Structure 1
Amino acid sequence: MELTATATPSLGFAHLLAQSDAVGKTLLAALLLMSIASWGLIVVKGWAQWQRRRRGDAFLHFFWNAHTMDEVQHELTTHGARDPFSHLSAHALHAQAHHARHGATRLADAGSASDYITRTLKKVLDEETMRLESGLTVLATVGATAPFVGLFGTVWGVYHALVAIGLSGAGTLDKVAGPVGEALIMTGLGLAVAIPAVMAYNTFTRGNRVLTGRLDAFAFELHSFLTLGQAPGAASQATPAGGAQVRALKPAA
């Protein structure tokens, strides 16, 4: 009885790691690197998205309560652009001032002030979109490939387990089920790495899509303020009873 107890190996992750060859250890290292990369991106982008939302809401609150564009310009000069909305506003105000001073002296400045501001807003929106999407490719790659890396490790482990069983000649259930079940740990590890990456990718993608839509709407209104001096349709917002009207912002001097 004592001989049987000592001869029975304890199966598990430690035994799998000890018995793995170079291929198995390489696959484990790949899954570990994928997990570190994905969790690092989740923490960094999650923090950045929270900061971006908080600062963006604060700037929009200030912008819509400002009386003139000069107040907005002073705020940007004092505190800088720390979110996509203030970044968009800073570039639009700079484009307006640049075109007012120099006009269409270069091909890059060709067209009216409205055309130049439109091109500037489009360029900044593209830059913000690329910045928001940075790192998402890594999360998508980890989510798509980690299960297959784990499955490859399982297939490799099952192959070696069956070869060892065939050479030993012991085909009993305990000799087969143990090594095969141990090889399935690799599939579980692959899923454990992929699931958080996929969930984070979907969450960040939705958040970026919502922010991009808000930026597009804000860019349209900002363009109207800089070119018309008021919000779109502000002239038709007054009610017959003398109700509230969309307030026009005075353009920056």
Structure 2
Amino acid sequence: MEPTNTLGFGHFIAQSDAVGKTLLGILIVMSVVSWALIALKGITALVRNRRSTAFLDFFWNARSLDAVQHEIATHGARDPFSHLTAHSMHAQAHHAKHGAARLAEAGSANDFITRTIKKVLDEETTRLESGLTTLATVGATAPFVGLFGTVWGVYHALVAIGMSGSGTLDKVAGPVGEALIMTGIGLAVAIPAVMAYNAFTRSNRVLTARLDAFAYELHSFLTLGEAPGAGAQQSASASVRPLKPAASAA
């Protein structure tokens, strides 16, 4: 009779066939890839947020767009907001110098800047979403891979028990309990991936909303030379009149 204390993860791996070991290897690869993505995207998000905050503070305290352009030329575009600003200002200068010389530059300066802003926003959204598909795939499939390993292990355990002709509890519970290890490993791989995916998705959604709002402000600066609504606020402060009901038709 085999001692009970030999049962466990090591015994389960030693008794597994090629299919069981392959499934375990797949789960290990999934875990390594997901944790690498979590670490990489987490560090990238921290650096990006710090640089974005620093650039926005400089942008809103700058005296002119020329100062912003000089800052970008000196330190480079290292975050989504400076990247958007650099391309938008370059589009404005390019259209003012060369005009609509190509189909890609067709339309007014306003149209060209708008297309440039939309293109940069799409690029930043694509960059933010990179790696999320892998995390979602790991979170969705890892439990099923582990369940497959459990079913496969239970099948072989029951076949071995049937061939031995002994159906006592110690002969059944041990191998079946070992097979459940694969389900536990699958869940351990999936849970961090799902949590990280949800966290990164929310962070990207917040950053995208901030970037859209900044793009609107930047477009107004480049095309109107002032913040949106600034002219209306100045005229309203100069002369504020009470609203009157519309005159009824005669």
The answer to whether the superposition gives a TM-score over 0.5 is yes
- In structure 1, stretches of 5+ residues that fail to align are 242-253
Give the letter for the 1:116 counterpart: F
Counterpart of 2:34? 38
2:144 and 2:194 mapped to 1: Cα distance? 14
* Aligned mate of 1:137, from 127, 133, 140: 133
* Aligned mate of 1:178, from 136, 153, 174: 174
Give the letter for the 1:88 counterpart: L
Given the alignment of the two structures, is residue 220 of structure 1 paired with residue 216 of structure 2, yes or no?
Answer: yes
Give the letter for the 1:118 counterpart: T
State how 1:23-102 maps to structure 2 within 5 Å: 23-102=19-98
- State the Cα distance separating 1:105 from its structure 2 match: 1.1
- State the Cα distance separating 1:229 from its structure 2 match: 0.7
Given the alignment of the two structures, is residue 204 of structure 1 paired with residue 197 of structure 2, yes or no?
Answer: no
1:130 and 1:195 mapped to 2: Cα distance? 25
Given the alignment of the two structures, is residue 237 of structure 1 paired with residue 236 of structure 2, yes or no?
Answer: no
1:230 and 1:16 mapped to 2: Cα distance? 70
2:221 and 2:132 mapped to 1: Cα distance? 34
Give the letter for the 1:237 counterpart: Q
- State the Cα distance separating 1:59 from its structure 2 match: 0.3
1:204 and 1:188 mapped to 2: Cα distance? 25
Give the letter for the 1:31 counterpart: L
The CA RMSD measured in Å over matched residues stands at 1.4
Counterpart of 1:114? 110
Seq. identity, %? 76
- State the Cα distance separating 1:237 from its structure 2 match: 3.0
Given the alignment of the two structures, is residue 19 of structure 1 paired with residue 38 of structure 2, yes or no?
Answer: no
- In structure 2, stretches of 5+ residues that fail to align are 239-250
2:46 and 2:5 mapped to 1: Cα distance? 49
Counterpart of 2:156? 160
Instruction: Kindly provide the CA deviation profile for residues 11-46 of structure 1, in whole angstroms up to 9, marking residues without a partner as x.
Output: 111111111100000000000000000000000000
* Aligned mate of 1:146, from 136, 142, 154: 142
Counterpart of 1:246? none
